[in-house]
Amino acid sequence: MRWVLLARLGGAAILAGVHAFWAGGIPEYAPFTTWGLGVYLAATVLLVPVALRLKDRGSVPFWTAVTVADGIALGILTGGLGGLEDPFFAWYVGDAAVLAMVMRRRQSWVLTGLLVVSYALAHLIGHQVTEPLVHVFLVFKVMTLMLVGGAVGITMGAQEERRVALESLQAETMELYAKLERSVSELRAVTEITEIIHSTLDVETVGPVLLEILHKVIDVPASCIYVIDKTKHETIFSASRGVPKESVRGLSGLEITGAIAPSASDNAFGCIELIDHPETLVVFCADTEAIDQLSPDDRIVLQTVASELVVAVENSRLYKLTKRLAITDELTDLYNYRYLQQRLDEEIGRADRYDKRLSLLMLDIDDFKRVNDSHGHRVGDGVLAEVGHVLKTTVREVDVVARYGGEEFSVVLPETDASGAFIVAEKIREAISLTRFKDADGERRIHVTVSIGLASYPVHAHDKESLLRAADDAVYRAKETGKNRVRAPRLRLGRVQVESTEQEVAE
């Protein structure tokens, strides 16, 4: 409130000039100007330091003290110098206007009333008012003081109300702008997430990116999101951000309707259900405090992303299923002929690059037609499926077991030479021979055997076609020589044809 200091000092300078003028030229007025100037200066000395420390420009005690001091000073001057045609009336008006500007309306009216009392008493005490017209002018001046204060107060009040209304409108506009900006950011994030999710059928790879984009619009430092298959009670998709990998685990063992997330460090995590379909549940987990602070808009964004994620996960599952069915035999759940051809190309190329060996087993179920004729094709299909199961459980995980066609099966043995292949083939032959398969009554009374031919690359063949042909020839030889046995291809040394025996196979 430095302007108060300047105004008081300016007023004191004016009064000092008036006092100096009248003290020299009109001595009878000197006592009044002395007292008036003294009261004004004393008030200035006392009140200006207070004004400089005030934070509230409309302080009622301060302006009351100013009004009282000015009323006394101006009353002395007006009473003593009234014969000079009321020179300080304008000062009263100025004080009334200032009070109306800095005070509330009701308070400014009260303090303006004090100025009116000061002015009226100064006239009544200091001057003989005998003529009615003088009374009328005095009343007119008193009303002018009140009207000036009221008019300025009403004007300032209207301006203040307008200012408040404009500030409120501006605040509302800024709030709407902020909401619009946030909505645009959320829409942009959802659009970006949707594009990323549907840009690949391998949806597992986009999980961290998804949460990173969400973090830009939803301030959650650490979070996890899970898609759960409710029918199987297993997690089919999960992603995390800011959570240690060792802390992230599936929700398959959790309560579906009240899942509790894994703990990250020592912070308590909570979960909310974003989507709860009959078959699918989407759960978002984060710090409990962050979950509680999610706004309705945040939850809408999360639910929108969750909906897109469910579609993407389902598409990914269908793609994987389609891809699996394309290379899998439906009856035996083994790889099919197409995949066998593909893997043989890959393994032969790998064997060439790294100078490795590769062996192929070809199996044919002996007299399988008799099983179909005796027990029916449905039982025969069951026997084929069980033979496939025996094959998978007998060989290594790296070996490729495929259904070649009909009752024929193939086993690709990477990095296995002829002697190693013979051991595996004998193990398979013996396992199938010892297994009893179910008949139409579900009893295990069916016995089958297999004839197995083996061929090794590059000992018995120089490419894929010759390897398949050599293994097929070996099966035919196994059939010719009594079935339920393992044979390798015939080897020709010059003009002498040598029958393959176990010793040859070992070589």
pLDDT category at 417 given cuts 50, 70, 90 is: very high
Over residues 369-379, mean pLDDT: 93
- Do residues 176 and 189 lie in contact, with contact meaning Cβ atoms separated by under 8 Å? no
Task: Please name which of 189, 212, 206, 185 lies closest in space to residue 304, comparing C-alpha atoms.
Answer: 189
Question: Which of the four pLDDT bands, split at 50, 70 and 90, describes residue 503?
Answer: very low
* pLDDT in the model for residue 4: 61
pLDDT in tens, 45-78: 777 677 666 666 667 677 777 777 777 777 776 6
Spatial neighbors of 378 by CB under 8 A, at least 6 apart, are 440
Domain boundaries, the chain: 2-164, 203-325, 337-506
pTM for this predicted structure:
0.53
Catalytic residues: 407
Do residues 272 and 257 lie in contact, with contact meaning Cβ atoms separated by under 8 Å? no
Q: Give which of 357, 366, 335 is closest to 429, Cα–Cα.
A: 366
Q: Evaluate if residue 3 carries a pLDDT over 70.
A: no
Angstrom distance (rounded) from CA 455 to CA 471: 5
pLDDT computed for residue 19 by the predictor: 64
Q: What pLDDT, in 10s, does the model give residues 207-216?
A: 778 788 878 7
pLDDT in tens, 24-37: 555 666 676 677 77
Q: Which pLDDT belongs to residue 132?
A: 66
Average pLDDT estimate for 191-198:
78
Q: Would you say 95 and 119 are in contact if contact means Cβ atoms under 8 Å apart?
A: no
Are 100 and 150 in contact, with CB atoms under 8 Å apart? yes
| Confidence label for 501 from pLDDT (cuts 50, 70 and 90) | very low
Question: Quick one: what percent of the chain has pLDDT higher than 70?
Answer: 76
Min mean pLDDT across 91-95, 125-129, 259-263 is at 259-263
pLDDT the model gives residue 46? 75
Pairing of strands 408-414, 234-241: unpaired
Amino acid identity, position 406: G
Question: Are 280 and 227 a contacting pair, CB within 8 Å?
Answer: yes
pLDDT of residue 422 exceeding 90: yes
With a cut of 80, say whether residue 175 has pLDDT above it: yes
pLDDT at 457: 94
Q: Reply yes or no on whether the pLDDT at 107 is more than 80.
A: no
**pLDDT over 80 at 133, yes or no:** no
pLDDT of residue 358: 94
Question: Has residue 418 got a pLDDT over 80?
Answer: yes
186/236: higher pLDDT: 236
Per residue in 226-262, pLDDT (tens digit) is: 888 888 888 888 888 877 555 554 444 444 444 444 4
Least confident of 72-81, 106-115, 429-438: 72-81
Q: Is the pLDDT of residue 316 over 90?
A: no
For residue 21, pLDDT beyond 80: no
Mean pLDDT across the chain: 79
pLDDT of residue 131: 64
Residue 200 is predicted with a pLDDT of: 74
Homologous superfamily (CATH) for 337-506:
Reverse transcriptase/Diguanylate cyclase domain (3.30.70.270)
Please, which residues bridge with residue 413 across strands? Answer: 359
The answer for residues whose C-beta is within 8 angstroms of residue 149's C-beta and 6 or more apart is: 96, 97, 99, 100, 108, 109, 112, 115
Q: Is a pLDDT exceeding 70 seen at residue 1? A: no
**Predicted pLDDT of residue 301:** 84
pLDDT of res. 445: 92
Segment 278-310, tens digit of pLDDT:
888 888 888 888 888 888 888 888 888 888 888
Q: What pLDDT is stored for residue 102 in this prediction?
A: 72
Q: Which of 100-104, 162-166, 242-246, 379-383 has the highest mean pLDDT?
A: 379-383
What is the CATH number assigned to the segment(s) 203-325? 3.30.450.40
